[in-house]
Amino acid sequence: MRKFLSLLAGLALAATLAACSQSTTEQTAAPASETNILLAEWTGPYGGVPAFDKMDIADSKAAMEIAMARNLAELDAIANQSDAATFENTILAMEKTGEDLNRVYPYWGIWSANMSSPEFRVIQQEMAPKLAEFRSKISQNDKLFARVKAVYEGEQFKTLQPEQQRLVWLVYDGFASNGATLQGEARDRYAAINQRLAELQTQFSNNVLADEEAYVTYLDKNQLGGLPESIRAAAAAAATERNKAGLWAITNTRSSMDPFLTYSDDRGLRESVWRTYYSRGNNGDANDNNAIISEILKLRDERVALLGYDNYAQWQLQNRMAKTPEAAMALMEAVWPAAIARVKEEVADMQAIADAEHAGTTIEPWDYRLYAEKVRKAKYDLDSNEVKQYLQLGKLREAMFFVAGEIFNFNFTPVPEGSVPVFHPDVKVWEVTDKDSGAHIGLWYLDPFARTGKRSGAWATSYRSHEAFNGKKTVLSSNNSNFVKGAPGEAVLISWDDAETYFHEFGHALHYLSSRVAYPTLNGGVRDYTEFQSQLLERWLTTDKVINQFLVHYQTGEPMPAELVAKIKKAATFNEGFKTTEYLASALMDMKFHTTDPANLDPQAFERETLAALNMPSEVVMRHRSTQFGHIFSGEGYSAGYYGYMWSEVLTSDAAEAFAEAPGGFYDQDVAKKLVDNLFAVRNAVDPAVAYRNFRGRDAKINALLRDRGFPVPASTK
């Protein structure tokens, strides 16, 4: 039941929402449930694992339809009981349902995110409205909601343990906030809107992926100027993979675009690659997302109006830490002026170098990364390519395991080859155990490399969550990245920013693995809080223990020199104007989209006008332009919630200072225990604001964030 409650409550991840909108081709016969591997009980070691090696798209549609039907039958049985509603026969009974769907979802998530194909996108599009209809049948089950409400409002509720009360409230709110109280035409319209949104959001995601696959920039040997050998090797491998041996491929993903713009000395090519990347979903063709955005915004606004809300953001934020759009905007507006002021300083430094080189260049967005790198070298004598020589993908993974051992008491051991099925040869699996007792905690899957059909970016997910109330289940967690695979036998070197992202996503996995909650639904999260744990883990990358042991030269094995470490730390806030501004522009745009009357809204005009009103620097663009902003238009996990990264970062910066102030620094065992016990293990069993106070003894303060970014701290807040 947990997957649906997360969806109903608006707590599901965007990736999960995408994974919940798929099926198979119509001509495929539906296999019997007994022979459908997607529905089969997970067998094998480690409490059973998904049969990723046997998954077949031909089974997907039937599996999902059977699983949905079975779940609805389970819930109807609970709803139609003659006994009075209790915590045990209603809430706990609901927690035990949906096991078939829990088995199907991981396979669909893989097909959606890791191994997409044109065939599967047809299935996604077909099944999206059916899944929406399925969720509506749950939220509009009057008898079921009446029982949930009876438990929530009944005398027994007062006698429940706090964790149980939290569970009851989450289940109740999942219904109440998603149309359960509507009647008649309003109820029918609410369900119809959900079905249409499911179709549109799925199409949005598929359009972006199609543009990422369709547009590849191929270079010849005369167009490689400025590119370091590691980038050339990766581009050559990407071209060979696409049957273009002898050329070099810059793919239409951030992991390929970003380093090219940082080093290429061909300005025309830089502009071409930049425009291709930032035009995804905005090319006026079959994959154009502008009309889809307009319709999504109108439907979301109409849907929440049925529930009595002024705008979509007001509905979305009601149970998050920010509570209101105004509070979220206040945080962003407090940081925005300092961010764009810093961009002005950064551009001035870059323009000075361009002028000194007699380049005849006025800094444009496709110049920013290149000249920022030149400024980095000039100001801090810091060469990003030199830093990369010490950032080996494999050694960084070892570093993450080390931190997990020191702070979480976890041990990671590779599973024997072939003992755990995987969906691609690149995927590797580790067993996670307690360092002291050796007790099994779960498995960690890693899918690190980019490939055709894999969505861009980096993300974490879980194939099975921890629970204890119905027979203990251990965690199956996963990290997924898009690093460019090097030539066979060569070390994969990545940038400092990518190393931080690697740690970030591993933080999500540790959050899954740390869970000690009893009930499945409590493994959910609050959007403007769930990024905190992952952001915090980034801080261990710069600790001396990690640097000295794991940041070693890929050829010599020598540790990173102390002087290079000092340069990195000295330049810690370098380019912070660019990073903060490109992120905040997207977050502010998200909130503006969802608090503005969407009638007659043209996405491109609205984007231009809103950014102009914010005094957006012309040299920087949104990190995610509207037509490719999958966080907010591919699903509803981050919609009106992209600000959550910064909200979480206030917590992150404040918590980092708690470690910095401790006797043992970032490896202080007392602070680490408080962190794990109060902010990782409890998942969503405790209100996030309360959980943070339990850790820190007070609420977080914005000053730590401003200090972290090198921005001035207003005297009034000191």
pLDDT band at 714 (very low <50, low <70, confident <90, very high): confident
* pLDDT score at 713: 84
238 pLDDT exceeds 50? yes
| E-state strands within 239-308 | 248-251
Task: For 447-466, write each residue's pLDDT tens digit.
Answer: 999 998 998 889 999 999 99
Give the per-residue pLDDT at 11: 29
Q: Are 540 and 519 in contact (CB under 8 A)?
A: no
Name the nearest CA neighbour of 506 among 660, 397, 369: 397
Q: pLDDT averaged over the chain?
A: 92
What's the rounded mean pLDDT across residues 307-311?
A: 96
Mean pLDDT calculated for residue range 139-163: 97
Please report which confidence band the pLDDT of residue 718 belongs to, taking 50, 70 and 90 as the band edges. Answer: low
State residue 716's pLDDT score. 58
Please give the positions annotated as active site: 505
Domain boundaries, the chain: 2-181, 215-278, 325-365+575-708, 393-570
Q: Give the integer Cα–Cα distance in Å for 90 and 88.
A: 6
Which residues, other chains included, contact 29 with Cβ-Cβ below 8 Å and sequence gap of 6+? none
Q: For 603-615, what is the mean pLDDT? A: 98
pLDDT score of 594 more than 80: yes
In the CATH hierarchy, which top-level class contains the domain 2-181? mainly alpha
Structure tokens at 605: 């005009």
pLDDT, mean of residues 221-241: 93
Q: What is the pLDDT of residues 263-279, one digit of tens each?
A: 999 999 999 999 999 99
Measured CA to CA, the distance from residue 536 to residue 458 in angstroms comes to: 17
Calculate mean pLDDT across residues 537-550: 96
Rounded Cα–Cα distance for residues 104 and 109 (Å): 9
Q: What is the largest CA-CA distance in the chain?
A: 84
pLDDT exceeds 80 at position 236: yes
Average the pLDDT over 536-555 and give the result: 96
Using the predicted structure, report yes or no on whether residue 9 has a pLDDT greater than 50.
no
Q: Are 316 and 324 in contact (CB under 8 A)?
A: no
Distance CA 533, CA 559 (A): 28
pLDDT band at 715 (very low <50, low <70, confident <90, very high): low
What pTM does this model have? Answer: 0.87
Query: Matching CATH topology for 2-181 and 325-365+575-708?
Result: yes
- pLDDT tens digit string along 611-669? 999 999 999 999 999 999 999 999 998 999 999 999 999 999 999 999 999 999 999 99
In the numeric block, the tokens 């049985």 are attached to 77
β partners of residue 473 = 467
Residue 5: its pLDDT value, please?
45
Note the pLDDT tens digit of each residue in 491-525.
999 999 999 999 999 999 999 999 999 999 999 88
For residue 35, what pLDDT is reported?
A: 83
Q: What mean pLDDT is predicted for residues 73-84?
A: 98
Alpha carbons 627 and 273: distance in angstroms, whole number: 17
Task: Assign domain 393-570 to its CATH architecture.
Answer: Orthogonal Bundle (1.10)
**Cα–Cα distance between 685 and 123 in angstroms, integer?**
36
- Cα 525 to Cα 2, 443, 512, 529, 686, distances in angstroms: 12, 21, 11, 7, 10
Residue carrying structure tokens 């191929």: 218
Residue 17: is its pLDDT beyond 90?
A: no
Quick check: 311 and 626 in contact, CB under 8 A? no
Asked whether the predicted pLDDT for residue 25 surpasses 90, the reply is no
Residue range 39-51, pLDDT digits in tens: 999 999 999 999 9
Type of residue found at 285: D
CA distances from 552 to 209, 235, 252, 391 (A): 36, 24, 31, 7
Cα–Cα distance, 104 to 464 (Å, whole number) = 11
**The residue to which tokens 């409230």 are assigned:** 169
* β-pair partners for 443: 431, 476
pLDDT in tens, 478-497: 999 999 888 888 899 999 99
Cβ-contact 1, 98 below 8 angstroms: yes
Domain 325-365+575-708: CATH architecture, name and number where available? Orthogonal Bundle (1.10)
Report the share of the chain in percent with pLDDT over 90: 88
Tokens 């499911």 sit on residue: 198
For residue 51, the model assigns a pLDDT of 97
Q: Given pLDDT bands bounded at 50, 70 and 90, which one contains residue 123?
A: very high
Q: Which two tokens stand for residue 45?
A: 């070691």
pLDDT for the residue numbered 23? 28
Q: How far apart are CA 624 and CA 588, in angstroms?
A: 11
The span from the CA of 4 to the CA of 12, in Å, is 9
**Mean pLDDT on 94-99:** 96
pLDDT at 33: 52
Model pLDDT for residues 311-353, shown as the tens digit of each residue:
999 999 999 999 999 999 999 999 999 999 999 999 999 999 9
H or E element, residue 589: helix 576-593
